[in-house]
Amino acid sequence: MDPWASFHLGPWSGLRRERLKDERFFLERHFPAEDRDLLFLGATELLSIEEDGTSPFEVWRGFLGDVAGWSYGILAFDLKNGLNDVSSRHSAPEGVPGLFWAVPRLVLERKGQDAFVHLPNGGPAALLEEARSLLGETLPPGRQSSLEWTLCTSREAYLARARELLAHIQRGDIYEVNYCIERRAKAIGWDPFLGWERLRSLAQAPHGAFLRIADHFVLCASPESFLRFDGDQVSAEPMKGTRPRHQEHELDARLAYELRTDEKERSENVMTVDVMRNDLSRVARPGSVRVDELFAVRTHPGVHQLVSKVSATMGAGFGPVDVVRAAWPMASMTGAPKLRAMQLIDMAEDGRRGLFSGSIGWFAPDGTGDLNVVIRTLLHDAVTGTCSLSTGSALTALCDPEKEWEECQLKARSVIDAL
């Protein structure tokens, strides 16, 4: 018997997010291109591992092996430590674990105009009524005070470290490195639910997510997919290259064309594609790794992005955890060669990245799954009343550190303005 059952609830009438405020664990994923939403509610079983925990991917594999159904969770960037002879000179951030994965008590799904609920077979009948109670008119986003942000890395420090990283590129140590900075804000009394309503409606991020783990909220407006699974098929869409949008159609089209043809942006993108191809080749059926799309411009409300697509067939004996482990952390957030880039990232940045540059994802009983890249993301600690927002850009031999600094500010503004 299938461990999960699905029910059609009728037409989708909206999600009453105010009913989620007492939930300690949930994940909402938003897929505007597919006209689909998923809400994972609760945690009947959960796995929580610190960033420096022993063999996190093996423990995760064991957890998923015992789960026959829907599951969801997160992976922090610094799970890289211990994978490839990489460590960190920084202490692990408090709060959000390095790896959290859970089995929900129910999954609410919107497909177009229809609502469905997925429930464990044999579960209490009250879950069906609970799912129905979540449907209803979505309250319009209210107003709340703006957040006052403080950069953790000054412009001068950023430029100095960027030049140090460029010196490594010029010596041939690396070809590309993703360098990130963080900003923080005091957010006493700030409502993450209102923040998500605004971010979701204005950013229209193709891989957005709203997550709660106890007292920690994640508001993610990510435009980037890390890995998607469908049976033995896996695909990745590494993203490198950004341009702002413009209100005038002609200028906006010119910016998109400039992004598509810019030598520096194409160089960044193809290096990231090559790293991903290499990562997937370690767990793919021989000869199955292919580049399906190269240098495609994807347009979002605030920015244009340069995206490519790599796909493969998983090799015999390999599963999703093997693929994630082989590609972790994602090429677009590290550099090339990946190992040396990760070492230099730890040297240059002011702290660990935590969930930023990590992934939020889910798996379904039909063999599908999806993991995003955690960028354009606000992290909110409801206990300390603080918010964190990190952004970065790729440095190559062709880059100008001043322009890379501006790119970091542009990416931050795309989130801050939406909020």
Mean of pLDDT over the chain: 94
Q: Which residues contact 205 (CB under 8 A, 6 or more apart)?
A: 30, 32, 199, 220, 221, 222, 223, 300, 376
pLDDT band, very low/low/confident/very high, at 276 (cuts 50, 70, 90) = very high
The per-residue pLDDT for 122 is 76
Average pLDDT over residues 32-53: 93
Residue 387 β-bridge partners: 185, 380
CATH number of the domain located at residue range(s) 4-135+153-418 in this protein: 3.60.120.10
Is 156 labeled as catalytic in the residue annotation? no
**Catalytic member of 240, 309, 338, 411:** 240
- The beta-strand segments (E) located in 51-113 are 71-75, 99-103, 106-111
The pLDDT score that the predictor gives to residue 51 is: 86
> Distance of CA 1 to CAs 106, 108, 120, Å?
18, 21, 11
Model confidence pLDDT, tens digit, residues 310-319: 999 999 999 9
Q: Which of 51, 109, 182, 224 is catalytic?
A: 224
> What residue spans define the domains of the chain?
4-135+153-418
At 243 the pLDDT is 87
The C-alpha atoms of residue 374 and residue 206 are separated, in whole angstroms, by 12
Determine what percent of the chain is predicted with pLDDT higher than 90: 81
pTM for the model stands at 0.94
2 pLDDT above the threshold of 80: no
pLDDT (mean) for 27-41? 94
Residue 95's Cβ-side half-sphere holds a number of Cα atoms within 13 Å equal to: 24
Quote the pLDDT of residue 1: 57
| Banded pLDDT at 238 (limits 50, 70, 90) | very high
pLDDT in tens, 52-61: 877 899 999 9
The answer to whether residue 259 scores a pLDDT higher than 80 is: yes
As a whole number, mean pLDDT of residues 240-267 equals 91
First-to-final CA distance of the chain = 45
pLDDT digits (tens, 9 = 90+) for 17-31: 999 999 999 999 999
Catalytic site includes residue 264 = no
Residue 236's DSSP bridge partners are 310
123-150: per-residue pLDDT in tens? 788 999 999 999 998 777 677 878 999 9
Q: How confident is the model at residue 309 (pLDDT cuts 50, 70, 90)?
A: very high
The number of residues making up the chain comes to 419
CA atoms of 200 and 208, how far apart (whole Å): 7
Residue range 339-391, pLDDT digits in tens: 999 999 999 999 999 999 999 999 999 999 999 999 999 999 999 999 999 99
What confidence score (pLDDT) does residue 44 get? Answer: 96
Query: Is residue 285 a contact partner of residue 312, using CB atoms and an 8 Å limit?
Result: yes
